[in-house]
Amino acid sequence: MVVPPGQIRKRRRRRMSGMTWMFLGLLIFFIVGGVFTSIINSIRDRVPAQIMQQAAPRSYAGVDNFETTDGGVTFANVEPPDAPADKAGLVGGDIITTVDGQPVHSDDEMTEILRRIPIGNTVDVIYIRDGETKNTKLTTISREEMKRLEDVFANRPQGRGQFGYNGRGERVEIPNTKTFGVELGGIEANNPADLAGIKEGDIVVEFGGIPIRTPDELMSRVRRALPYSTVTVVVMRNGERLEIPVKMGKR
């Protein structure tokens, strides 16, 4: 039916009340929040747990990589100088059995313990060396502090020490003892070790008063030695213990 123009009425637009706008706002908020949460959970499900854990800062002890061994965890050497393990008196070849009262059975457990210990905390460490159980205290540091110590040593103005053997060394047990040492391979002619009278086949058990139980620890201590300083090296030769002063070279 056609309505005469004069009878046409303008329809008024209905406006939404304030309560309606508030309801719509809350609805949008919850929808967006739900979508965001779903995205985050999806990302977490796809990222390996190891990567998520590595993102969290953890404490550092200042040793080479931990390795699982009988009775606990061990490591090849302590580094850099003045890092926690160095200050605690640990050396490569020690077997850590307990940290902060918690038994350690594997390298994964050791890493998890260091992750839980707050940076800068001092903890009790029980370890085994030469068959004897020993105790020490270790204060953890951050990765940034580790990097700073590494840079300090790498840029040391005195340079690094030179001993004079080709780096071939084997961890061996001293007969009739529970002590290990490093049997030297080739000795470089006319270098510090050779000039001091150290011979191929000698078993190094101390270097500058530090027990030597692994080839990596020996190399680490050689690099630390100040060039042209005299270091007392203790070796076993044919069952005899010899103390030999060695004037270090410079690398």
pLDDT in tens, 189-237: 999 999 999 999 999 999 999 999 999 999 999 999 999 999 999 999 9
Q: Scanning the structure block, which residue is given the tokens 């190891």?
A: 50
Mean pLDDT of the chain: 87
In the prediction, which pLDDT does 144 show? 96
Q: Identify the weakest region by mean pLDDT among 22-26, 112-116, 172-176, 235-239.
A: 22-26
In the prediction, which pLDDT does 52 show? 43
Element spanning 210, H or E: strand 210-211
Name the CA dihedral angle for 39, 43, 44, 48, rounded to a multiple of 10 degrees.
170
- The answer to whether residue 240 sits within a structural domain is yes
Q: Please tell me whether residues 126 and 197 are part of one structural domain.
A: no
Report residue 42's pLDDT band, with 50, 70 and 90 as the boundaries: low
Helix (H, G, I), strand (E, B) or coil at 138: strand
d(CA 207, CA 226): 13
Q: Which residue has the higher pLDDT, 106 or 34?
A: 106
What share of the chain has pLDDT > 90, as a percent?
Answer: 73
Please count the CA atoms within 13 angstroms of the CA of 141 that sit on its side-chain side. 20
Question: 154, 175, 210: which is the final residue of a domain?
Answer: 154
Q: Please tell me whether residues 192 and 218 are part of one structural domain.
A: yes
Is the confidence at residue 8, as pLDDT, over 50? Answer: no
- The answer to whether residue 202 sits within a structural domain is yes
In the prediction, which pLDDT does 128 show? 98
In the prediction, which pLDDT does 64 show? 79
- The answer to whether residue 104 sits within a structural domain is yes
Does the pTM surpass 0.85? The reply is no
Q: Give the residue-averaged pLDDT of 92-121.
A: 96
Report residue 43's pLDDT band, with 50, 70 and 90 as the boundaries: low
- The answer to whether residue 169 sits within a structural domain is yes
Question: 125, 154, 183: which is the final residue of a domain?
Answer: 154
Q: Which residue has the higher pLDDT, 133 or 30?
A: 133
Q: Which domain holds residue 204?
A: 161-250
Is the confidence at residue 14, as pLDDT, over 90? Answer: no
Name which of 120, 118, 61, 117 is nearest 92 in CA terms: 61
Q: Which residue has the higher pLDDT, 41 or 232?
A: 232
| CATH number, position 197 | 2.30.42.10
- The answer to whether residue 25 sits within a structural domain is no
For the chain, the first-to-last Cα distance in angstroms comes to: 108
In the prediction, which pLDDT does 20 show? 64
pLDDT in tens, 56-89: 578 999 997 999 999 999 999 999 999 999 999 9
What share of the chain has pLDDT > 70, as a percent?
Answer: 78
